[in-house]
Amino acid sequence: MEIKGELMGIVGAENATDDPEVLSSYSKDSSVSSPRLPDYVVRPKSAEEVQGIVKLANEYRLPIVPCSSGIHSDGNTIPSQGGIILDLRRMNKILGISGRTRMARVEPGVTWGKLQSELEKHGLMALNPLLPHPMKSVLTSHLEREPMLIPKFEYSDNLVTAEVVLPEGEIFRTGSACVPGFPDKSLAEGVNPGGPGNTTWGWILRGAQGTMGVVTWAQVKIRPRPKIDKTFIIPFKRIEDAIQLVYRIQRRMIGEECLILNGLNLAAILAKHWPEDFDSLRGTLSPWIVLLVLGGGWRCPEEKIEYEEEGLQEAAVELHVPELPNSVPALPGVERELPRMLRRAWPGGKTYWKFADKGACQDLFFHTTLNKAPAFIQAISQLSGKHGYSIDDIGFYLQPLEYARACHFECNFYYHPDTPDAVGKIRDLFTEAAETSLDMGAFFTRPCGLIANLVYDRATSYTMALRKVKQLFDPNNVMSPGRLCF
């Protein structure tokens, strides 16, 4: 009661609880990670309240696990050692939008649905991952280094500067946002991620899963919305052929959104009526589809589309690609809908596309190069047969990064969450697929949940260095203990 009373004193009686029903709702997410109850849930409204909670956690040596939305799928916010869940959803302000610097400053509770809707009023858009859940935190996506859909070098690092409450309660600002008086009483615009000093401190926070502090706001990159678009939905029977076209496209530096999906994932995205549309589309779509959107800005948009399309046609001729369709025969007009879809969150009130088929989805993702993707697809498909999981139920998504210098490889295992046998099957398949991918050279840039130990056990020197940094930042080990290699 003493701790609960002190938490209430910081955030108000209505924003701190140990009610069993509330605690249970925070004990699990949509992944197959094992559940664990927290001891308390608190909902701060400001950085100062976050400071107070963090200092209290240090005093009592209580674990503290931050979360910024109710949408989590990798086990990152499950309190593996109990303690305090720090729910940041009340901190939901868009603190600033600048078309001149192309930055938006957001608190952790700002969702993709809220940010993209607000930016659209200004003719702007954020760089978002593939159809994020409308209630997912923008800040979480950036901190977790989720891949964005436009694979240009200038958009490879979209989180710029941030304010963070460090694990002992101090407030720290990264980059040029550290200037005294920022943003109201200084000329600094917070657009430089380096500093203070010679270290880019933001890199310590990204991928750290709440183990190095609590980010209370951050500046993220935004851009003008294209004035006109032209969409290509290019089918392939072989993944190798789709990859070669993407390589040619990216070497020419043409297009905006560019990605590869298998037919199952595209069917789940485009289906409007379930299950009729989904069943029909997955039976008619090609095994692999390249989605490419050409975008024309505010200066000479038609001319830009024209020369980019010429480059695409040249690439198709080089590879003997017979056609470059703009649409899907069963879905007239989809070519006009897709750019809008890809630049927004998934529609609110509509079942999320990853949950529509079976109710849940476990994602396996890592970095590799596009040319190595077919080997990973083959290996994972073989493992699925071994575990009695249908190959036809695996979604695949390949996102080129930085003009296809590398790629984000993702496979989606869809399953029924209320069936214990299905959950156990997916857990075993997921774990073996991760281990097999590691053996094949997969680079897990953000290992989490069930595969964290697999990764860190193979990176001894890196793990030792990371633990030293953690000890310096968090000597009492209160920030998300049990996560990563801590």
Give the Cα-Cα-Cα angle 62, 161, 151 (nearest 5 degrees). Answer: 110
Query: Mind listing the pLDDT tens digit for each residue in 112-168?
Result: 999 999 999 999 999 999 999 999 999 999 999 999 999 999 998 899 999 999 999
Q: Tell me the C-alpha distance between 473 and 151, whole Å.
A: 33
The crossing angle, in degrees rounded to 10, of helices 301-319 and 239-251 is 140
Identify the top-confidence range among 66-75, 90-99, 178-187, 439-448. Answer: 90-99
Distance (Å) of CA 483 to CA 160, 296, 427, 457: 24, 44, 18, 14
Q: Which residue has the tokens 């203990």?
A: 481
In order of 3, 154, 175, the CA distances from 221 in angstroms are 39, 10, 14
Question: What local confidence, expressed as pLDDT, does residue 31 receive?
Answer: 76
pLDDT bucket at 297, cuts 50 / 70 / 90: confident
- pLDDT tens readout for residues 374-403: 999 999 999 999 999 999 999 999 999 999
Mapped onto helix, strand or coil, the DSSP state of residue 81 is: coil
Class of 2-87 in CATH: alpha beta
User: Is the pLDDT at 357 greater than 70, yes or no?
Assistant: yes
Locate the domains of the chain by residue range: 2-87, 94-224, 228-342, 360-446
On the question of pLDDT at 209 being above 70, the answer is yes
Instruction: Report pLDDT for 77.
Output: 86
Using pLDDT thresholds of 50, 70 and 90, give the confidence band for residue 317.
very high
pLDDT tens digit sequence for 217-236? 999 999 999 999 999 999 99
Is residue 452 over pLDDT 80? yes
**Coil/strand/helix, residue 314:** helix
User: Count of alpha carbons within 13 Å of 97, Cβ hemisphere only?
Assistant: 18
Angle at 186 between CA 185 and CA 189, to 5 degrees: 125
Contact 88, 106 (CB under 8 A): no
How much is the pLDDT for 298?
Answer: 84
The DSSP code sequence of 163-216 is EEE-TTS-EEE-GGGGSTTTTTSSS--S----BSTTSBTHHHHTTSTTSS-EEE
As a three-state string, the secondary structure of 409-462 is EEEEEEECCCCHHHHHHHHHHHHHHHHHHHHCCCECCCCCHHHHHHHHCCCHHH
What top-level class would CATH report for the domain 360-446? alpha beta
- Residue pointed to by tokens 């709440």: 210
What is the reported pLDDT for 35?
A: 86
Span 247-295, pLDDT tens digits: 999 999 999 999 999 999 999 999 999 999 999 999 999 999 999 999 9
Separation of alpha carbons 95 and 162, rounded Å: 12
Angle at which helices 373-386 and 420-439 cross, to 10°:
140
What are the counts of helices (DSSP H) followed by strands (DSSP E) for the chain?
15, 16
Cα separation of 391 and 453, whole Å? Answer: 27
Task: Tell me how far apart the alpha carbons of residues 444 and 381 are, in angstroms, rounded to a whole number.
Answer: 19
Over 80: is that where the pLDDT of 1 sits?
no
CA 3 to chain CA centroid, nearest Å: 34
**What's the CA gap between 49 and 84, in Å, rounded?**
14
3-state secondary structure of 356: coil
Q: Rounded to a whole number, what is the distance in angstroms from the first to the last CA of the chain?
A: 29
Helix (H) or strand (E) holding 118: helix 112-121
In contact, 302 and 449? CB cutoff 8 Å: no
Question: Could you tell me the pTM of the whole model?
Answer: 0.94
Give the per-residue pLDDT at 176.
94
**Which residue type is seen at 342?**
L
**Residues 17-68: pLDDT tens digits?**
999 999 999 998 877 778 899 999 999 999 999 999 999 999 999 999 999 9
Amino acid letter, residue 57: A
CATH fold of 94-224 reads: 3.30.465
**Tokens of residue 252, six digits:** 């020419």
Confirm whether 2-87 and 94-224 share one CATH topology. Answer: no
The answer regarding whether domain 228-342 maps to CATH 3.30.230.10 reads no
Average pLDDT of the chain?
Answer: 94
Look up residue 102 and give its amino acid.
R
How many Å is the Cα radius of gyration of the chain?
A: 23
**What percent of the chain has pLDDT above 90?**
85
The answer, yes or no, to whether the previous bond of 183 is cis (omega within 30 of 0) is yes
